[in-house]
Amino acid sequence: MIDDTIVKLFDRSELARVMLPITSVSGGFMHRMFKVDTSKGSYAVKFLNPEVMKRPDAMNNYIRAEKLERILEAENVPILPALTIDGNKMQEYDGRYFYIFQWLNGNTTDWNAITKKQCKQAGHIQGRIHAIQSKNIEHIPTEICAIDWIGYVKEAKKHNSIIAPILEENIQLLEYAQDAVNTSRKALPDLECIIDEDMDPKNVMWVNDKPVVIDLECLDYGNPVSAVLQLSLQWSGITTCNLDLDLQKAFFEGYLEAYDNGFRDYADVCGLAYTWIEWLEHNINRSLGDYQDEKELEMGIAEVKNTVKRLRYIREHECAIRHNLEHLFDWSEDYEKLKEGK
């Protein structure tokens, strides 16, 4: 049925004539992606999750991300933007929402085979994005994370869910992680810029060893310190519980070549590594029936398991991460002298 909708969407847009079959390809955790071959070449079509689109803030979030995507396009940041058709990036047909992209002949890197060179390149792109509209802002009260973990345990037990014992066994870890996130958020400097917190390795395609950022629906304004810390950890292996802190240093090296706001106290915000608790909460709700689709339910359960495992791994390696952050800028005095030409 989705195939028929995509064919009709292409017919209406007069983009090209679709040549069947339409192929489902690997996408993200939220939406579905298809490869569509046509008389004028191949396209990637992202079918936006209908349940996500029902959220009250969903459309405004996409509108904001599209506006920021256009800014990145104008700045020649290496991204794969959604096509604009009849003045719109988001396409709607029969109550369903889509983005259409030119097909990119490239590959994502294996999460366990990321190189220092790739980390440096990714960090450099992130720095370029942060540098576009970076500014100091007035102090805003910290957004406190207040997830009711005990309440979720009770709810999971009520549903007789297999995630109930997982959450109950890790209550102390989850409460510790939440406290660490809140403490670190209070230590963030009052800075704001364009951020892409979803620019992890799965969302960077490599074409002839050159990076191209894809999946830009999460573009927003936010704190550069928070964004770069979390992305540096993802590029250095935290997602797969295979941490290589030399990769984190490479990410920061590329980042600072493009943008340097002078902040050096990253060890003070180390607790932001636990921001995964918000992804965990989202997947708890998926696994407890916020979504009626069976596939969504299964993905929610799987991601609860994966995310708790990841949080435990972070706790085990927190001291090493903190130490790495404390020594990221041992060279900073020489760096400052170099910039000043001394």
> CATH number of the domain that 259 lies in?
3.90.1200.10
Check whether residue 24 and residue 143 sit in a common domain. no
What pLDDT, on a 0 to 100 scale, did the predictor assign at position 333?
A: 53
Domain limits at 185? 111-340
Check whether residue 146 and residue 212 sit in a common domain. yes
Minimum mean pLDDT range among 109-123, 128-142, 213-227, 289-303: 289-303
Last residue of a domain, one of 81, 102, 123: 102
Last residue of a domain, one of 70, 102, 134: 102
Check whether residue 68 and residue 124 sit in a common domain. no
Check whether residue 223 and residue 176 sit in a common domain. yes
Check whether residue 292 and residue 333 sit in a common domain. yes
* Mean pLDDT for all residues in the chain: 91
Check whether residue 156 and residue 72 sit in a common domain. no
Last residue of a domain, one of 68, 102, 136: 102
**Residue 308 tokens, joined:** 């708790």
Check whether residue 142 and residue 12 sit in a common domain. no
Strand order, beta sheet including 41-47: 18-25, 32-38, 41-47, 96-102, 91-93
pTM of the complete model? 0.89
Determine what percent of the chain is predicted with pLDDT higher than 70: 94
- The DSSP code for 83 is P
Residue with the larger pLDDT of the pair 94 and 295: 94
Provide CB contacts within 8 A for 146, sequence distance 6+. 178
- The DSSP code for 178 is H
User: pLDDT category, 27, cuts 50, 70, 90?
Assistant: low
Is omega for the bond preceding 21 within 30 degrees of 0, making it cis?
yes
Check whether residue 222 and residue 296 sit in a common domain. yes
Triad 161, 239, 28: Cα angle to 5°: 70
pLDDT higher than 70, residue 85: yes
For the range 174-178, what are the long-range contacts, defined as Cβ-Cβ under 8 Å and sequence gap of 24 or more? 174/147, 174/149, 174/277, 174/280, 174/311, 175/149, 176/315, 177/271, 177/274, 177/276, 177/277, 177/311, 177/314, 177/315, 178/145, 178/146, 178/147, 178/149, 178/274, 178/277
Q: Average of pLDDT values for 123-142?
A: 95
Strand order, beta sheet including 191-195: 135-136, 191-195, 220-222
Q: Is the Cα torsion angle 23, 24, 25, 30 positive or negative in sign?
A: positive
Q: At 211, phi and psi to the nearest 5?
A: -80, 140
Q: Is 307 left (phi over 0), alpha (psi -120 to 50) or beta?
A: alpha
Check whether residue 142 and residue 290 sit in a common domain. yes
- The DSSP code for 55 is S
Q: What is the CATH number of the domain that holds 21?
A: 3.30.200.20
Q: What does the alpha-carbon distance between residue 110 and residue 237 come to, in Å, rounded to a whole number?
A: 11
Residue with the larger pLDDT of the pair 316 and 296: 316
**Residue 271 tokens, joined:** 């607790």
Contact, 225 vs 153, CB < 8 A?
A: no
Check whether residue 134 and residue 27 sit in a common domain. no
Check whether residue 188 and residue 261 sit in a common domain. yes
Would you give the end-to-end CA distance of the chain in angstroms?
67
User: pLDDT category, 136, cuts 50, 70, 90?
Assistant: very high
What pLDDT, on a 0 to 100 scale, did the predictor assign at position 294?
A: 79
Check whether residue 229 and residue 282 sit in a common domain. yes
Q: What does the alpha-carbon distance between residue 331 and residue 119 come to, in Å, rounded to a whole number?
A: 19
Counted domains in the chain: 2
